[in-house]
Structure 1
Amino acid sequence: MRPDLAGLSPYGAPRIDVPVILNVNENPFAPAPEVAEDIARAVQAAATGLNRYPDRDFPELREQLAAYLAVESGVELGPEQIWAGNGSNEVLLHVLQAYGGAGRTMLTATPSYSMYPEYARDTQTAFVTVDRADDFTVDLDATRAAMTEHRPAVLVLASPNNPTGTALATEDLLALLEHARTTGPADTPTGPDDADTPTATVVVIDEAYGEFRREGTPSALELLADHPHLAVARTMSKAFGMAGLRLGYLAAARELVDHLRVVRLPYHLSAITQAAALAALSHRDSLMGQVKLLRDERDALVDHLRGRGLEVADSDANFVMFGRFEDRHAVWDSLVSRGVLIREVGPQGMLRVSVGTPEENDRFRAALEEVLS
């Protein structure tokens, strides 16, 4: 085994058999019967051709993902600007495979998604972090200074951020994109008289929870046209309620997408995955109808927790980070004993709860009330 991997444990959130599971930011609503039936029919049809390899570049799926983004965010993109993989995890790994590697650096702002350092580790990319501000927004000055110092090949920022739920302000993203035009790794000189040529840092905005953003919070997709070094990652796991499907995707300039096609494994999206994703996308209106309910439940949860005197981070996601507790593990453990599983993650003293069904949220509030009392 590689020495840098020896002794490490695989990533994973706790899996405990309790009635209310609110720890991994899943959509709590199972697909409606008509959605499940259409997916089953599509998979059955695909199964008749499983002796053949699937289309490596899945143009129909890319076209339908672009059509969905046009409705969801108002941004028109061509299918050649879309890429997809086995969850947004694989898509972000493709980015690191294409732009990272030995001698290159990935930068992010913490606290943030715990898989980011693993993408860097697995591609032998140096991993550098900068602290977020006290309100969990991106510290613009500190981030730009780190970009200047470390010349990262890739800057990854989650918006809404996991585990805090914080969205990145458009003016801050624009400032970072402008700074990133010349902060990438220098081109290697081809001759003794050649000077280093500055390159751009690839800026990836991870919008896994983008559909849950509050009214008036724009998507980074709106900035793609003027920023060829920007990529925006999305997923069908959260808002679509398709975590078990494993379909994540990314929107970017065609040239950037073509770079990702170089590093992907052949036939990395199975015919079954492509068929199921297309069937789910055909129901996007009804599936997205659940998003408003979850937003409303999130906002009610924020108000309730603040009403109990707790510190609660503003959230544009389908989860809420709250605290602070002297012994957060004791609170987490007490909730588990009452049949409610949330996540012990984020800054010291903080916990994160996913937004569940109205009934699940009521059970969480009742259990927390008992713990706090």
Structure 2
Amino acid sequence: MKLVNTNLINPGEILAQTVHNDNGVVLIREGITLTEKILARLIKQGITYLYIKDKLTDDIKAEPVISNKLRSDATKMMKDIFYEIQENGLVGRAFILDNSKKKLSIVVNQILEEIQSNKKSFSLLTDIFITDNYVFQHSLNVAIYSLAIGVELNYSSKMLTEIGIGAMLHDIGKMFISPEILNKPGRLSEEEYETMKSHTVLGFEFLRKQADLPTVVSHCAYQHHERLDGSGYPRGIKDDDIHPYGKLIGIADVFDAVTSNRVYREAMLPHEGLEILYAGAVRLFDKNMVEAFKNSIIIYPNGITVLLSNKSEGIVVRQNENLCDRPVIRVMKENTYTLSTPYDLDLGKVTNVTIVDVNLDGN
């Protein structure tokens, strides 16, 4: 199978990976023929990339980072918590004071188990979901990315649990923002943007009053938009004044924001999202954390078509451990000439060839 931009898929192609909603329900099953109507609906719902069948790459697999059941269970739990808090308001005792911490801790530990049992880099690009609320999937994705960074940095179990819970709740303040602003499909006005930025303070004020939660969790909500050079918000603090969890979750937050499917813009690819982080390394983001993140993710996912420095073109077959930017490529073309017999090129062994670009037009 190969990964193709949904806008560039021709009707008649066969879907190679099932599309779910965030409750785990199958919406479009693997093997279905993609019609113009189905493609239009997927594009309208913000699905930027799809896997399609391809005879020459039938052996390529894209494994989900976490199981569909864990993803749907975690999403449902967050919906319950977030909506309960929204209904009770900032002064309400809310559901979170009762048994939510225990549920959050269980889910965080389950995610950690799945990340650590794989012992491989991962890509959330391969998890194709349609969601009715971006905040929930974003919060879960940020938790997954944050935990992966924490594992790479050898954080303790206690720290990983705090980071996981903090990441899941980092955007809880958005539940106190007007839905008209929160769900606006286009660019926010200056006034609306200032209102949106207040979610950091609103989340902090709510979470710091919750006796059942570690104090650092509230600072995850408060500081995930702060930057090392003081250009962030809400306080514009710098460097060591920012809690390490805030720095870490800020990296995961930015990466997921730019690489997620949104109705009003196409998602960036992982290597493009990573470029944004590296462009801000030292000035905006902690360089060691960015490096740890790079070591945790797949930059060029299985099934993506890449252009090589030797004028060849091929599809990523599998990953090389600890060499995130040097996977194994099935070379399909050389100097624009389509090969009758494609061959696999291991960039982990062939050091004089590099990936220079990607091609997602499906041809």
Higher RCO (C-alpha 8 Å, min separation 6)? 1
Q: TM-score, normalised by structure 2?
A: 0.31
